[in-house]
Structure 1
Amino acid sequence: MTTQLISTDKLQPAAIRAIARIEYAHARPERELAARVGKALGFRSGWQPNAHLGETATSLTLWSQHELNTVYERVGGAVTTRQVERGACDGDATWKATEITLTVEVDGIGPVRVSTDWDEESGGRDLPLMRAIPDAVLIA
């Protein structure tokens, strides 16, 4: 008796599509949460957190204090700083930085934290965001 095997080349595309649909459906709550957060913070439509950078819908990173200030001026919130140690991906180098965090209470979601590291070369000590934390020690 000969056993008929199902051809994997016919199953594979269908299986891949099925897995993609399942993953897409599974990620729906996170996409919807991100859409609500993005709208509350005034981000562009379709914004999603960068998971490869460790971002979530309620904890994200911006490029500079100027971008963070734009969000602060748009929605307000509580501004804090802390001293952190950062490291290169390969672990060869570390450095100290001042992390600036804006915490915004988003209705129906709760606290959303938006952070960046202070960059002295970019300037901005006179930004409204920075005036909200006049006693902050900034690592230049």
Structure 2
Amino acid sequence: MTNAVQAAIVAAGTAVVLAPINPQALRDSEPAPAPAPTFTAVLLAHAEATLAARVRTALGMPGWQPRADLGETETRILVWSQLELDDFYLRTGGTVTTQMVERAASDGTTWTAEEITLTVAVPGVGPVQVFTDWEESLAKFGARNELPLMRAITA
């Protein structure tokens, strides 16, 4: 790049920065500000954040936030495998149940899965469910009858 080209770039940039701007033109094109949230909405948002924070702390899940698209709420948490759920069970104890559920993919296909749910009593929150589907391909890392989680099934 020659000195002349560099000087032209600097001159053009300086001209843009120093060009007079009519602030009224900017104000007219700005969207109307969003209405302020109501007091009740602020309190509910704070309560939900506080609930998620208490669950996160009690279960040792730093950074966890519920994802509705995965079926999670502040008191219902998805983990990715029965092995991870077994680790939760060994750390926290709780009640283990299973149920057959119908799952659907984004393309509309459905299948039946065995959902394993660990219910843990969290102080100051109440019952919290941690759940996953049984994945047979992971049984090589912990067979059904070898996992303490699966031996603890109550229903």
TM-score (normalizing by structure 2) = 0.69
Give the 3 Å change call, closer, same or farther, for CA 23–16 of structure 1 in structure 2: farther
Match of 1:57?
Answer: 74
Moved over 6 A (4+): 22-25
Match of 1:109 among 102, 107, 125: 125
Asked if 1:100 corresponds to 2:116, the answer is: yes
Query: What's the CA shift for 1:90?
Result: 2.6
Q: Secondary structure at the match of 1:27?
A: helix
Match of 2:100?
Answer: 83
**What is the aligned-residue identity percentage?**
55
Query: What's the CA shift for 1:132?
Result: 1.1
What aligned pairs does 1:1-140 form with structure 2 within 5 A after superposition?
Answer: 7-9=28-30, 12=32, 15=33, 26-44=44-62, 46-91=63-108, 93-123=109-139, 124=142, 125=144, 126-133=146-153
Structure 2 alignment gaps of length 5 or more: 1-26
**Structure 1: distance between partners of 2:130 and 2:49:** 18
TM-score (normalizing by structure 1) = 0.75
Q: Which structure has the highest helix share of the two?
A: 2
Match of 1:3?
Answer: none
**Structure 1: distance between partners of 2:42 and 2:84:** 30
**Structure 1: distance between partners of 2:44 and 2:34:** 15
> What do you get for the CA RMSD once the two structures are aligned?
2.6
Between structure 1 and structure 2, the one with the greater Rg is 2
AA aligned to 1:51 is A
AA aligned to 1:36 is R
Q: What is the count of residue pairs matched by the alignment?
A: 123
